[in-house]
Amino acid sequence: MTAPASRIYCSVDTTEIESARRIAGQVAGAVGGIKLGLEFFIAQGPAGVRAVVGEDGPPLFLDLKLHDIPNTVAGGVRAALPLKPAFMTIHSAGGPAMMRAAAETAATAGADRPKILAVTVLTSLDEGDLDAVGQSVPVAEQVVRLAKLAKASGVDGVVCSPAEVALVRAACGPDFILMVPGIRPAWAATNDQKRFMTPAEALAAGADHLVIGRPITADADPAAAARRIVAEIEASSGGTA
């Protein structure tokens, strides 16, 4: 697997086990891992995750965006540890105590612990949306504020849109993981993402991992679509991404 391919997590957005297994099998070796989210988890639970990823399957990004009181979020992380996810998400808006509880619980898994990523501002939101919920600040300012709070609370990194990657990297340093959705190859539709960027642009800005869903999964040949994205990255970066 090439270096750019290893940095891509394919977002498998379905409630159907067989559909998820088929996509996971098709992109195996063409991407770095599989992201399963709330929709799939509610429909199929931990058993469904195991059916898709398996014991020796691709790295799992379990994107549940936990947001509750600290004890409940800690319990949610603890319950997910047997699935051995590489990454899990919580909401940074849950506050420092909640984020610390998640990070401390993840650490109990030792070497197999998941990296805890805090969601900053969803990529479907813009400043009008923030204003509507009483956060009358620029999106970029809110993202950086939440990212710095997450780092201070002991989590491993954040989920942020490509538009804020460079700002978060500058604010939080080189060792803070940036998982970046809102990625659309030059040839793909933007769908419901309001803050998006091409894969090569996001990596150049400082992203560590890219979350890419429909441009891969909606293609008649998901593996070919993933390889096309990797080729686009390599063409833009000289193969050094």
56 labelled ligand-binding: no
Q: How far apart are CA 199 and CA 210, in angstroms?
A: 7
56, 68, 131, 151: which is the annotated catalytic residue? 68
Helix (H, G, I), strand (E, B) or coil at 191: coil
37 labelled ligand-binding: no
56 tagged catalytic: no
63, 84, 115, 151: which is the annotated catalytic residue? 63
219 labelled ligand-binding: no
Residue 87's beta-bridge partner residues?
A: 61, 115
Q: Tokens representing 138? A: 């620029």
65 tagged catalytic: yes
- Cβ neighbours for 158, distance < 8 A, ≥ 6 positions apart: 92, 117, 118, 119, 120, 146, 147, 150, 168, 172, 176, 177, 178, 179
68 tagged catalytic: yes
151 labelled ligand-binding: no
Instruction: Specify whether the backbone of 134 is left (phi greater than 0), alpha (psi in -120 to 50) or beta.
Output: left
The residue count of the chain comes to: 241
192 labelled ligand-binding: no
167 labelled ligand-binding: no
65, 129, 208, 219: which is the annotated catalytic residue? 65
65 labelled ligand-binding: yes
145 labelled ligand-binding: no
Q: Kindly report the CA angle at 91 between 27 and 89, in degrees rounded to 5?
A: 30
Closest Cα partner for 10 from 39, 34, 41, 37?
A: 34
67 labelled ligand-binding: yes
Does residue 51 contact residue 44 with C-beta atoms inside 8 Å?
yes
Find the DSSP H helices in the chain: 3-6, 17-27, 38-53, 70-80, 96-107, 127-132, 139-152, 165-172, 199-205, 214-217, 222-237
177 labelled ligand-binding: no
135 labelled ligand-binding: no
63 labelled ligand-binding: yes
193 labelled ligand-binding: yes
13 labelled ligand-binding: yes
Annotated binding site for substrate: 13, 35, 63-72, 123, 184, 193, 213-214
Residue ranges for the known binding site are 13, 35, 63-72, 123, 184, 193, 213-214
Residues annotated as catalytic are 63, 65, 68
